Copies of this chain bind each other. A is one copy, B any other.
Amino acid sequence: MKKIKVAIVGYGNLGKSLEELLLNDKRFDLKCVFSRRDIKAKVFTYPMSKIKNFKNKIDLLFLCGGSKSDIENQAEELVNDFNFIDCFDNHNHIKNYISNLEEKAKCTKHTCVCCCGWDPGLFSMMRLLFNSIEGNCFTFWGKGVSQGHSQAIRNIKGVEDAIQYTLPNKEIVKQIKNGVKPNVNTKDLHHRQCFVVANGNKNLIKETIIKMPDYFEGYKTTVKFIDGEQMKSHKKLYHGGEVLTLNDTMNFKLKLESNPVFTAKVMKAYAIALNNLYESGEYGAYSILDIAPKYLTNSDYIAYI
């Protein structure tokens, strides 16, 4: 079988996890990493400004930048020349993001898989599936580190480093498993715990975090300022969560040692789907909900039935 020629855009935790996974998967040929920073990767690295030179030399790109600032702008440009897969996770922008991209991808005859991680991604699929079958479906995240929320804090002026833990409201989880529908606001289902290393105005930073739309506004959020030394104990990127229905009739649970490694695994799996869609002439912007599971494999999928 012909290997899929791929490249990584962005070399943070997710990009590094993908590099490791792709180098160990014979179906892929990892050509290079693109970054705006001066990085040392295991494969060739090029500045983002050179990416256009790789048109027709790469089958698909893995976009690994942050949703808050990078992906939307990058995607709009890159769809002219490349297929790509991303894990864009800014929930409130997803609809516009996909519909804009859909139009452009159809036009330029490219295939994009968007919002492809575990949430959005696998959890999105479970929500649709569970609601269609049972109804009364709930999602809980954590306890774990949200990379998207941590990055959003790091993007604030005066923040040196930050980590955000998402915690489920355990009482409410228990209530649902006992068959009682909770009578609360969605944002009461979780608590957001932030640890921040700052060199700027702490009050202003705290205010900016707590009022950040989409990410923190409306949630019970605690912000604790710590020093760089203390931050070292917060480097384990574990996460998890569950999607469930009343009485726990249907339950999908993830227990992740490393959030970026697992997200990278989901993206790698759906990169196979992207390639299969593209080779079938299916152009456009796809979410996981738009993709029949069979596209995930090149072997005889009937064996899984």
* Bound-complex Cα distance A265 to B130 (A): 10
Q: Are A304 and B292 in contact (CB under 8 A)?
A: no
Q: Are B272 and A301 in contact (CB under 8 A)?
A: no
Report B-chain residues with C-beta under 8 Å of the C-beta of A294. 128, 289-290
Report B-chain residues with C-beta under 8 Å of the C-beta of A292. 289-292
Q: CB-nearest residue of chain B relative to A96?
A: B302
Q: Are B269 and A132 in contact (CB under 8 A)?
A: yes
Q: Are A132 and B297 in contact (CB under 8 A)?
A: yes
* Complex interface: stretch among A9-17, A62-70, A251-259: A251-259
In residues 88-140 of chain A, which contact B (Cβ within 8 Å)?
91, 94-95, 98, 115, 120, 122, 124-125, 127-129, 131-134
Q: Are A304 and B131 in contact (CB under 8 A)?
A: yes
**Given known contacts A265-B134, A290-B294, A297-B132, is B256 in contact with A127 (CB within 8 Å)?**
no
* Bound-complex Cα distance A291 to B290 (A): 9
* Complex interface: stretch among A156-164, A166-174, A201-209, A242-250: A242-250
Q: CB-nearest residue of chain B relative to A268?
A: B133
Oligomeric state, in copies: 2
* Bound-complex Cα distance A257 to B245 (A): 13
**Given known contacts A292-B292, A293-B288, is B255 in contact with A95 (CB within 8 Å)?**
no
Distance from A187 Cβ to chain B, minimum over Cβ atoms (Å): 17
Distance from A207 Cβ to chain B, minimum over Cβ atoms (Å): 30
Distance from A280 Cβ to chain B, minimum over Cβ atoms (Å): 13
Q: Return the CB mask of A260-300 against B: 1 if under 8 Å, else 0.
A: 00100110010010000000000000011111111011000
A305 at the B interface (CB under 8 A): yes
* Bound-complex Cα distance A128 to B132 (A): 20
* Bound-complex Cα distance A305 to B257 (A): 23
Of the candidates B248, B255, B302, the one whose C-beta lies within 8 Å of that of A251 is B255
* Bound-complex Cα distance A253 to B249 (A): 8
**Given known contacts A251-B252, A265-B134, is B289 in contact with A128 (CB within 8 Å)?**
no
Q: Are B269 and A133 in contact (CB under 8 A)?
A: yes
**Given known contacts A128-B296, A269-B133, A289-B305, is B252 in contact with A248 (CB within 8 Å)?**
no
Report B-chain residues with C-beta under 8 Å of the C-beta of A120. 305
Interface residues in chain A, defined as those with a beta carbon under 8 Å from any beta carbon in chain B:
91, 94-95, 98, 115, 120, 122, 124-125, 127-129, 131-134, 247-257, 262, 265-266, 269, 272, 287-294, 296-297, 301-302, 304-305
27 contacting pairs across A/B (C-beta < 8 A): A91-B305, A115-B305, A128-B293, A128-B297, A128-B301, A128-B304, A129-B293, A129-B296, A131-B297, A131-B304, A132-B297, A133-B265, A133-B266, A133-B269, A247-B255, A249-B254, A249-B256, A249-B262, A250-B254, A253-B253, A288-B293, A289-B293, A289-B294, A289-B301, A289-B304, A289-B305, A290-B292
